[in-house]
Chain A
């Protein structure tokens, strides 16, 4: 299949330039503030996401995840570099993307239905009134909130509010769903429920999804690919870690799955490393490339397990696990 071939090439970083991914970040830098008091938040971000992919970005809070999301949503422009979607440079918000914001951002003076309708009325202007009402009802139903249609956000629990927010995003029928820590404000049980719900909806709707999270388990449970973000300032994206756990994934069997454990260790390792490097500048400088030489005489596996240089630190991690 040519598609997997391309994907592998791009993962290795030498994909031919003329082949464009659906979503592309191309050497993107972003900072805030005037020159004399500048904080560089993101630096040299590169990312390719294919159509239909579910990518999870994971990083510490304050590392610039929301900023990255705003860049993708078109709410911010990059200082340098380009954000491209479907080959076109993003120059503002668009109905091809829908955002679920970190803190729900429902309008408190509108009911659940009205909040969703605000989006529907705007995007589907050519619908008749009945069609729009039906559309709203369909998506409110999709997140199981039909009984709460006429309630205001203040009457809803955190989990319900976030579901409204998801419904509002889905109702615009975007190609790309941008989820900015949609579940981080929720308690663990509600969170697990909503993860399952998001999982179900995303499998049904087959959208391109970019999920931002600070929970490795959530990232691995939901995503095809996890990309860690180094700790800020000047955060950048790490190498993407594929999640080769077959779907449908359930919380129960994922916990015992060895691939899951390994992936999780990789993610956490990257995050810990990136933050410790920030604290001790010198140790960062002394860090030697810890890539292990690849034995080229061994044939790469054709299917399953994308070829990727291994790190010494990963190797170590694995032996530790054997000991325990």
Chain B
């Protein structure tokens, strides 16, 4: 073990070992197709295919790979609305996520500042935020549908939005807003009195105080909020696509479940996980950049 550590290989090897162990467990519990040939009473050969195993219908790793290959190897293919390469699906989901997420940031950050700065505002709205915060995306989506049922929104350059798209954006925005709101508020409340005293003594205008003191002092908290929000936005998109049947990773997952291609469910789950992880890394990279600057 010593030489592995010395060469710095443990960072690569140990995760591989972990993955390998998971694959073994997965193979162990997944089912296999077993084809048996029997001769019936007339002497004809009859082939019957049966799945056996602990969880008979769960495809094993190799089977999943075989069935998903075309989606991964041709990630940009488009064979139909709900039959596209995995990157195309990811892209479709991401565009919606980004829209909802940006709305969440644009609305949530000022809300957080108000919450942190004004005791009156806090007392007025904190209970409402606390009640709305734990509501599941599955609950918001129908409300979004109702909200935008008769709405026709034409955005130049983006084209028209359907009610279900608007509902999805709305759901993403409202669900992913809370970490940004609450973390920003905590950050504002945590600003040392000394910094505020500096602003007061120098008689900085409110706008200058905001730009020069409040925002930079809150930035680390804000970014923690942004990061958590992005995670939630990505969680919500899957639910939103499932309910609306919109093409995307989540929509594809649900459609493939209904079409009994279970391998593709696993493909989707892995994709969602990888993309979520990548987004989180991206945010922490931006965060560390900002902190260093």
A residues bordering B, Cβ < 8 Å?
70, 73, 75, 92-95, 97-99, 101, 103-105, 107, 109, 118-119, 122-123, 172
Contact = CB atoms under 8 A, between A and B. Distances in A.
Contacts of A93: 200-203
A105 B217 CA distance: 12
A172 B201 CA distance: 11
Nearest to A97: B201
A118 B202 contact: yes
Q: Nearest 7 A-B pairs (CB), nearest first?
A: A105-B194, A109-B216, A93-B201, A122-B202, A105-B198, A99-B201, A93-B200
B216 A105 contact: no
Contacts of B208: 122
A103 B192 CA distance: 11
A73 B212 contact: no
B195 A105 contact: yes
Contacts of B197: 70, 75, 99, 101, 105
Contacts of A103: 194
18 contacts: A70-B197, A73-B201, A93-B200, A93-B202, A101-B194, A105-B192, A105-B194, A105-B198, A107-B195, A107-B213, A109-B216, A109-B217, A109-B219, A118-B198, A119-B202, A122-B202, A122-B203, A123-B202
Contacts of A118: 198, 202, 212
A123 B202 CA distance: 8
Report whether over half of chain B's contact residues are helix, strand or loop; otherwise say mixed. helix
Interface residues of B, number: 16
Contact of A107 (B200, B201, B203, B212): B212
Nearest to A119: B202
Nearest to B290: A109
Interface of B: 192, 194-195, 197-198, 200-204, 208, 212-213, 216-217, 219
Contacts of B219: 109
Given A99-B201, A118-B198, 16 more contacts: A75-B197, A75-B200, A93-B201, A93-B203, A94-B203, A95-B203, A105-B197, A105-B198, A107-B213, A107-B216, A107-B217, A118-B202, A122-B202, A122-B203, A122-B204, A123-B202
A98 B216 contact: no
Nearest to A99: B201
A70 to B, nearest CB: 8
Contacts of B203: 92-95, 122
A123 B204 CA distance: 10
Contacts of B217: 107, 109
B201 A98 contact: yes
A105 B201 CA distance: 12
A285 B213 CA distance: 49
A75 B201 contact: yes
Contacts of B200: 75, 93
Contacts of B201: 73, 75, 93, 97-99
A94 B194 CA distance: 17
| Best-buried of A93, A94, A98, A104 by chain B (most CB within 10 Å) | A93
B193 to A, nearest CB: 9
B1 to A, nearest CB: 39
A324 to B, nearest CB: 44
A151 to B, nearest CB: 14
A101 B208 CA distance: 21
